[in-house]
Structure 1
């Protein structure tokens, strides 16, 4: 994955990451990997395009989409978690499912608990839909990120929360919630009669020795109030194909979804289903290599950054949450590095409470690109400190 690469070739890509980078800017912002997708996925897409692009076999029976059984099999094999394929729904986007569930199950003014900082589109969704954010702050410790369980319980109770949105592994910190943390969240949800939307899209990029645990796998009580969201899009770099799955353990949510007109939320394409199914069935070797590359890149970030930029190695995924407060900048760190290093990062404040003074770096790229990116960031930081 870290072979030499021509940056000029990357700049010819049509995806948003490089297309919006600018002629002299290196993009480390949006969460796309630069690596090619698995050969098997490319092959099945070519075969599909060369063959039949008519209505798929499951078109008139969306309850027989092949991803339902494939996802159930994957949960059983990877996490020993039994999933009813009939409770698996297929959608185009994770954010789409989040918005649908909130629209069906909550009302404007309802309080929603979310660990912060968090994925900006989730915050924007709550704002636009008029739902009230109850932030559960992530806390940086000596060995990683955590949160105050007792404070979460009190904040949920005091604000009369209707739901919890859990992002596990967490975006942007890369924290993987352990069994004790998940059990505490489950207990809070059950005690306060909350339903839970558990975004687990980064779960298959969990790094050793950490282990991902699906929240709904902890027991029947939490399972029957949880909607688990997942996709092959982050794991196998397929975001542009627009395909995700939702295991809807909450019967109230299932009833609300089933009562909607069948085409109201659109349908995934035949090619996106083919690609996802192939990645899950045949992508294990590619995924193992990619995870090793990401671990090496993560460690390179940690070794190359100046000490004034604090970085806790993420337990999952390819996102570096950079604490730039030690630089004492007079502007958002992402804006600073875009101007002075020609490196585009994501702005920390966009991630909500706890994001000020931070920036997010995507390190899922080829080693020479990452080395140049980190060199530019380090030089800009040093020049600022030497002023």
Structure 2
């Protein structure tokens, strides 16, 4: 059986509807938006094809309960050792929708919302659009890697903390001790925590993902199968509402604001969480190989790229001197300045590189970047 992660088909990626490759000029490699260049697990593909063969595109009906919720609860218990509270999980379209609803129902205009910066750019934009105030928590670099500080929470009054773990873009995975300390601080400050754990299944040994709600039961946990199983465009996510106050508020909210993810998105999510772990294991082997390729490449640069190999995710955060490389290298990365927008933090020297691609394509990306960074041109 062929390794599905050994090679990719750029023509397939360019000819489809995906923004990662389809929005780029011919000859430019996409290494920016957080999609993978691989396909999807066989079980996911078969679940979609089965639904298509049945022409089953009506309004969803789950007489035995929503299968996404059941699959989520089982996965959290069996893979991550956390038992969600029954009746506290809702299905949404994506994490941005979850964030927006939590902001609207748990905070007021002008309230402070804390988040580690650099941060996922749409989260920063969402906070600002809602009329709330970003309280940036520093991400600092030490000898052993990136450190996510929580100390400003003791000094600044915030209503909500958006905790992204594993962290995007640095790939940092917080330890149990760090999370326990944060849980204590959140309780002291009466601080609501929204834990974005969408990359939980993409963690490299010996690191381990610890659900924050297992230490702080009032947490809102937001996650999805979309990152680990490459189905972002299908739009299905879940939120476990640990906070009694927020749970009661959402129970009173109009149902229409939550939306109804499709049958396709639900059957794909269930197939991913229930039947695709062998595919995930093989994927992680390739990603682990790729992150070490980048580590070796960064170490050979003639300047300190301030790089630490990510402990989770398929994203690398590198200091490339603020160079605009897309035209010269014909590689599109995510520009670092986007990850600190609407704050006084300066991340303009950095870029985020998505390494969820074949080793051969990653090698081509790194060779092009080397030629551009060191003054040459790619062949």
Answer whether TM exceeds 0.5 for this pair. yes
Asked if 2 retains the 8 angstrom alpha-carbon contact of 1:137 and 1:354, the reply is no
Deviation at 1:89, TM superposition (A): 0.6
Select which of 16, 38, 42 maps to 1:39.
Answer: 42
Matches within 5 A, 1:246-261: 246-261=239-254
Q: Residue by residue, what CA displacement relative to the aligned partner does 1:129-180 show, whole Å, maximum 9, x if unpaired?
A: 11111111111111211134xxx33x22332111111000000000001111
SS at match of 2:229: coil
Q: 1 CA distance for matches of 2:179 and 2:117?
A: 16
Aligned partner of 2:217 in structure 1 is: 223
SS at match of 1:263: helix
Aligned partner of 2:191 in structure 1 is: 194
* TM-score for both structures, normalised by structure 2: 0.93
* TM-score for both structures, normalised by structure 1: 0.91
SS at match of 2:374: helix
SS at match of 1:86: coil
Aligned partner of 2:313 in structure 1 is: 317
Aligned partner of 1:329 in structure 2 is: none
1:269–1:2 distance in 2 versus 1, CA, 3 Å = closer
| 2:131 aligned with 1:130 | yes
Q: 1 CA distance for matches of 2:31 and 2:127?
A: 26
SS at match of 2:325: helix
Runs of at least 5 residues in structure 2 that lack an aligned partner in the other structure: none
Deviates more, 1:307-316 or 1:243-252: 307-316
Q: 1 CA distance for matches of 2:239 and 2:8?
A: 37
Matches within 5 A, 1:220-369: 222-224=216-218, 226-305=219-298, 306-307=300-301, 308=303, 309-325=305-321, 332-333=322-323, 336-352=324-340, 353-369=345-361
Q: Residue by residue, what CA displacement relative to the aligned partner does 1:296-336 show, whole Å, maximum 9, x if unpaired?
A: 111111122342233210000100101124xxxxxx43xx2
1:83–1:6 distance in 2 versus 1, CA, 3 Å = closer
SS at match of 1:8: helix
Q: Residue by residue, what CA displacement relative to the aligned partner does 1:247-274 show, whole Å, maximum 9, x if unpaired?
A: 1100111111111122222111011010
Asked if 2 retains the 8 angstrom alpha-carbon contact of 1:109 and 1:131, the reply is yes
Q: 2 CA distance for matches of 1:253 and 1:64?
A: 22
Aligned partner of 2:89 in structure 1 is: 88
Q: 1 CA distance for matches of 2:148 and 2:167?
A: 12
| 2:27 aligned with 1:24 | yes
Q: 2 CA distance for matches of 1:117 and 1:304?
A: 23
Q: 2 CA distance for matches of 1:199 and 1:74?
A: 16
Aligned partner of 1:328 in structure 2 is: none
Q: 2 CA distance for matches of 1:203 and 1:6?
A: 27
* Larger helix share, 1 or 2: 1
Q: 2 CA distance for matches of 1:31 and 1:313?
A: 17
Aligned partner of 1:146 in structure 2 is: 147
Select which of 329, 354, 373 maps to 2:365.
Answer: 373
Asked if 2 retains the 8 angstrom alpha-carbon contact of 1:116 and 1:354, the reply is no
Q: CA RMSD in A?
A: 1.5
SS at match of 1:90: strand
Q: Residue by residue, what CA displacement relative to the aligned partner does 1:312-371 show, whole Å, maximum 9, x if unpaired?
A: 10000100101124xxxxxx43xx211211110001011012522000000001122111
Q: 1 CA distance for matches of 2:133 and 2:30?
A: 33
Q: 2 CA distance for matches of 1:354 and 1:43?
A: 45
Aligned partner of 1:7 in structure 2 is: 10
